[in-house]
Amino acid sequence: MAQALESDPDVDMILGMGTREPTVPLERAEFVTADQTYSILSRIVRATQVDTIVHTFLVVDSTRVSGRALHEINVIGTMNLLAAAGQAGSPVRQVVVKSSTLVYGSASTDPAWFREETPRTSPARTRVERSLLEVEGFVRDFAEDNPATVVSVLRFANVLGTDIVTPISTNLSRPLCPAIAGYDPLLQFVEEDDVVRCLEHVTRHRVPGLYNVAGAGKLPWSEVARICGCRLLPIPPVATRPAAAPLVRMGLIELPPELESLLRYGRGVDTTRIGKTGFTCRYTSAGAVDSFIGALRLRRSVGHAPPSYTYSQDIEQFFRHSPAVVHNVPDSEAPFLRGPS
């Protein structure tokens, strides 16, 4: 995201914030490490006078973090972020939030295509879904209280791609991937490049509103597994949780509760509204699967690419501020702030 924005001469300054250091080289973007609830954000906003915040740190994968950390990051982190953006005399004019189609849940009573205003049909039971709903609630309130600020919320479908690791990608990269016996749900995917392109699109064009983002079409889970060359491991449709628990414990499969319901009923979101703003995903759902498996095959052959870049404060400082370095970065006037993806 920061790389994409760096190439735009209209953006004067980019400031990244995250709990980990960036893994790609950034030419102009500054970087600050923060704790997971981003409590220093309001000071940074005051100090740098940023006009845009791109909020990409929401956790949508409950297998990586504990329930408490999930709450801290998603709910408290967002509260801090919105508090910083909404403080008195705030320079922030735009907030972009990266959410997920998990907010719709997955149930047998769902429509085949959720529009942005379609309510979910089943109560949210998983922690991730509840925290995302809470976060979107905060963002809605923030948008109401700050009508002068452009607020965009993007709900992305399941992300697949060359680098991103999700329970779905982990399962698909193994010889056996879980399926609920008797169900073959239709799924939508979005490629990670399209995620970045879409964030960039709404940021650059200042598009307010709530949008679904997903690749065109849907494909059944069995076909996804077949494309990725893994066999389906059927888990009984009743007592799914206890049956899957030992397999999850042994590390054979990943099956967080939100994936379990997805593997039963699937989910589809209608992307007409984002299309009307002039954005189309470059990858279809099947294209995203293809991109994922292509990258996986390459990795299987040549191994993980060695880290071509390591963030080092000293070197970055040298490149950016030493008089010996020749560069033509314009002066910061309207700085820009983002979180890590």
Closest to other proteins by CB, 13 or 135: 13
Residue-wise over 318-340: b if at least 16 C-beta within 10 A, else e? eeeeeeeeeeeeeebeebbbbbb
Contact status: 124 vs other proteins (CB under 8 A): no
14-22, 169-177, 249-257, 324-332 -> range binding other proteins (CB under 8 A): 324-332
For residue 303, what are its two tokens? 């191994």
Interface pick for other proteins out of 218, 262, 267, 274 (rule CB under 8 A): 218
The count of chain residues that interact with other proteins, using the rule CB under 8 A, is 55
Q: Which is nearer to other proteins, 66 or 272 (CB)?
A: 272
Q: Is 72 in the site for other proteins (CB under 8 A)?
A: no
Site for other proteins, residues 256 to 295, rule: CB under 8 A: 264-265, 268, 280-291
Options 14-22, 53-61, 105-113, 246-254: segment touching other proteins (CB under 8 A): 105-113
Give the nearer residue to other proteins in terms of CB position, either 69 or 165: 165
Judged by CB under 8 A, does residue 302 bind other proteins?
no
Map the footprint of other proteins across residues 147-176, applying CB under 8 A. none
Contact 267, 101 (CB under 8 A): yes
Q: Is 186 in the site for other proteins (CB under 8 A)?
A: yes
Could you tell me the smallest distance in angstroms from the CB atom of residue 243 to other proteins?
A: 14
Q: Segment near other proteins (CB under 8 A), from 98-106, 131-139, 210-218, 242-250? A: 210-218
Q: Which candidate, 152, 32, 156, places its Cα nearest to that of 93? A: 152
* Segment near other proteins (CB under 8 A); pick from 42-50, 54-62, 222-230, 249-257: 222-230
Q: ∠ CA 22-313-53 to the nearest 5 degrees?
A: 45
Token digits of residue 230: 């893994």
Rounded (5°) CA angle 89-336-26: 155
Q: Which residues, 6 or more positions from 285, have their beta carbon under 8 angstroms from its beta carbon?
A: 157, 187, 188, 189, 190, 214, 215, 216, 217, 218, 219
Are 98 and 199 in contact by the 8 Å Cβ rule? The answer is: yes
227 near other proteins, judged by CB under 8 A: yes
Give, in order, the Cα–Cα distances in Å from 255 to each of 100, 201, 282: 18, 33, 29
The answer to whether 291 touches 161, Cβ cutoff 8 Å, is yes
The reply to whether 27 sits near other proteins by the rule CB under 8 A is yes
Among 68, 251, 327, 333, binds other proteins (CB under 8 A): 327
Helix, strand or coil for residue 152? Answer: strand
Shortest spacing between CB 137 and other proteins, in angstroms: 24
Asked if 243 is part of the footprint of other proteins (rule: CB under 8 A), the reply reads no
Out of 180, 263, 269, 337, which residue is the one contacting other proteins (CB under 8 A)?
Answer: 180
Record the tokens describing residue 284, joined without a space: 């279809």
Cβ-based nearer residue to other proteins, 13 or 45? 13
Per-residue binder mask for other proteins (CB under 8 A), 1-20, x = binder: --xx--x-------------
Q: How far is the CB of 306 from other proteins (least distance, A)?
A: 12
User: Residues 6 or more apart from 233 whose CB is under 8 A from it?
Assistant: 176, 177, 178, 179, 247, 252, 253
Considering the rule CB under 8 A, would residue 22 count as an interface residue with other proteins?
no
Is the alpha carbon torsion for 33, 39, 43, 46 positive or negative?
Answer: positive
Q: Give the C-alpha separation, 293 to 272, whole Å.
A: 28
Q: Which residues bind other proteins (CB under 8 A)?
A: 3-4, 7, 24-25, 27, 108-113, 115, 118, 180-184, 186, 191, 193, 196, 216-220, 222-223, 226-227, 237, 264-265, 268, 280-291, 308-309, 319, 324-327
